[in-house]
Amino acid sequence: KNEVEQSPQNLTAQEGEFITINCSYSVGISALHWLQQHPGGGIVSLFMLSSGKKKHGRLIATINIQEKHSSLHITASHPRDSAVYICAVGGTNAGGTSYGKLTFGQGTILTVHP
C-alpha cells in the first residue's frame, strides 16, 4: 500500500509570502493530485500531474518521479488561500493497470494572515 506523507502539517504565513507544501510517497504511481479543501468541506482539484511542473495563476506544482516527491508552491499568498491542501496519489496494481482511486495524505492546514 502506498503511504503518502505531507509536510508541514500546519503552516502559518503572512500575506505576500511564498509558500511551499511538500508531499512524499512510497511506491510507484500513475498520477499525483493536489487538492484544496475549504472550511465548508468541499474539495477542489488544483492539479493532476505525472511528471514535470504545472502552473495555474499563483499556484505551481512540481513532481520528481525518481525521488517520489512533489511540491505545491503558492506565490504572493493571500488570506483567501487559507485552506487545507491535500496530496493524493493514484496507484498502480501489480499488473500495471491503474486504478482511479486515490491514496490521500493527511493534509496541510494553511493559514495566511493579512
Partner 1 sequence: DGGITQSPKYLFRKEGQNVTLSCEQNLNHDAMYWYRQDPGQGLRLIYYSQIVNDFQKGDIAEGYSVSREKKESFPLTVTSAQKNPTAFYLCASSLGSSNTEAFFGQGTRLTVV
Q: Minimum distance from CB of 96 to partner 1 (Å)?
A: 10
Give the residue, chosen from 11, 21, 23, 33, that forms a contact with partner 1 under the rule CB under 8 A: 33
Residue pair 110/81 in contact by the 8 Å Cβ criterion: yes
Which of 44, 39, 24 shows the shortest CA–CA distance to 105?
24
Is 70 one of the binding residues for partner 1 (CB under 8 A)?
no
Q: Minimum distance from CB of 18 to partner 1 (Å)?
A: 26
Q: Minimum distance from CB of 21 to partner 1 (Å)?
A: 14
Residue pair 83/38 in contact by the 8 Å Cβ criterion: yes
